[in-house]
Amino acid sequence: MDALPPYDRTALLIDLDGTLLDIAPTPDSVVVPAGLTDTLTVLRGQLGDALAVVTGRPIETVDRLLGRAVPSVAGEHGGAIRFTPDGVIERPNLLSPPEAWLRIAQELADAYPGALLERKARGFALHYRACPEAGPVFHLALAGLLDGNTAFQLLPAHMLWEVRPAGADKGRGVAELMKREPFEGRMPVFIGDDVTDEDGMRVARAMGGAGYRVDATFGTPEGVRRWLHALAQNGDWPELPGSRAQPVAGA
């Protein structure tokens, strides 16, 4: 298991859905548990604002859900970054999917009751949680759209398939955040729950920090929230649920 860096030298970077929040039937039906924003606000103060959400969601969605409890956000898998609560959203020069792809994706969603097309500034996702039988169909159709096109990627997540531009991933989001104050000079600790988070974990480890998957270390998002609450109360790392002893690195 990764060793946690000293808390006063840490930047804490956390995924949203499946990590801070429980997965919901639809993207708009997620619930922010009572006390979560209070916990995040305390952590923000302890870390000198070196706290960020790194997610596939748009930044505007994170703001709607968490308010000003999290000062920095890397949204759309690193395709949009805002470094301060009142700062501008910065976007790398990446392609948006063709309108024809969006029309086809909408037709696919319409063909399966309960399916949902989620449009993003630089990509889109087809959700099939309410109709699991659509998953293989969506995969086959989207893979066909992207066949031979290296400018975009097709990725699986929680009961969805997502099309995003190549070059937009959570590792990029972590790397960009860590270039500026208050993150610069700290060691990133990244917590996420699925394959799209592994880029963020990899970059965090490469920068001397740590990366943890929810299922392996915390069990559930509730386990993440309990651990973060204990961290906010203690002002230092509590024992990781997936370990027998607290694996804190030396200063």
Which tens digit of pLDDT belongs to each residue from 114-128?
A: 999 998 878 899 999
- pLDDT at position 135 over 60: yes
Q: In the chain, where does the domain assigned CATH 3.30.70 lie?
A: 99-165
- pLDDT at position 248 over 70: no
Task: Judge whether 15 counts as a catalytic residue.
Answer: yes
Instruction: Kindly state the percentage of the chain with pLDDT values over 70.
Output: 96
pLDDT tens string 90-109? 988 888 899 999 999 999 99
Instruction: Kindly state the percentage of the chain with pLDDT values over 90.
Output: 77
The pTM of this model reads 0.84
Instruction: Report the length, in residues, of the chain.
Output: 251
Among candidate residues 2, 15, 169, 193, the one labeled active-site is 15
Average pLDDT over residues 132-145: 96
Average pLDDT over residues 178-202: 95
Q: Is the N-terminal amide bond of 182 cis, ω within 30° of 0?
A: yes
Per-chain mean pLDDT for the chain: 92
Domain at 7-92+168-234: CATH code: 3.40.50.1000
What does the block give as tokens for 104? 């086809």
CATH says 99-165 is which class? alpha beta
**CA atoms 41, 44, 45, 49: torsion sign:** negative
Q: In the chain, where does the domain assigned CATH 3.40.50.1000 lie?
A: 7-92+168-234
